[in-house]
Amino acid sequence: MYLTEENINKNPFKQFEIWFEEAKKIGLKDPNAMNVASATKNGVPSSRMVLLKAYSEEGFIFYTNYTSRKSGEIFDNPIVALNFFWDALERQIRIEGEIKKVEKEVSDAYFNSRSRLSQLGAHASNQSQVIENYEELTNKLNSFDEQYKDADIPRPDHWGGFIVIPSSIEFWQGHDGRLHDRLKFEKENNNWVLKRLSP
So what's the pLDDT on residue 52?
A: 98
Q: What are phi and psi of 166, to 5 degrees?
A: -75, 145
Q: Is 178 a catalytic residue?
A: yes
Annotated catalytic residue, options 114, 116, 178, 182: 178
Query: What pLDDT digit, counting tens, does each position of 74-94 carry?
Result: 999 999 999 999 999 999 999
**Total-model pTM:** 0.94
C-alpha dihedral (14, 108, 160, 61), degrees to nearest 10? 0
- State mean pLDDT over 116-133: 92
Segments in 69-194 forming alpha helices (H): 69-76, 104-113, 116-124, 134-147
Banded pLDDT at 128 (limits 50, 70, 90): confident
Nearest to 20 by CA among 28, 70, 103, 8: 28
- Percent of the chain at pLDDT > 70 equals 100
Reported confidence tier of residue 129, pLDDT bands at 50, 70, 90: confident
Domains and CATH numbers, the chain: 12-113+158-196 (2.30.110.10)
Looking at residue 126, what is its pLDDT? 86
Write down the pLDDT at residue 1.
80
**Interatomic CA distance for residues 37 and 49, integer angstroms:** 9
- pLDDT tens digits along 11-49: 999 999 999 999 999 999 999 999 999 999 999 999 999
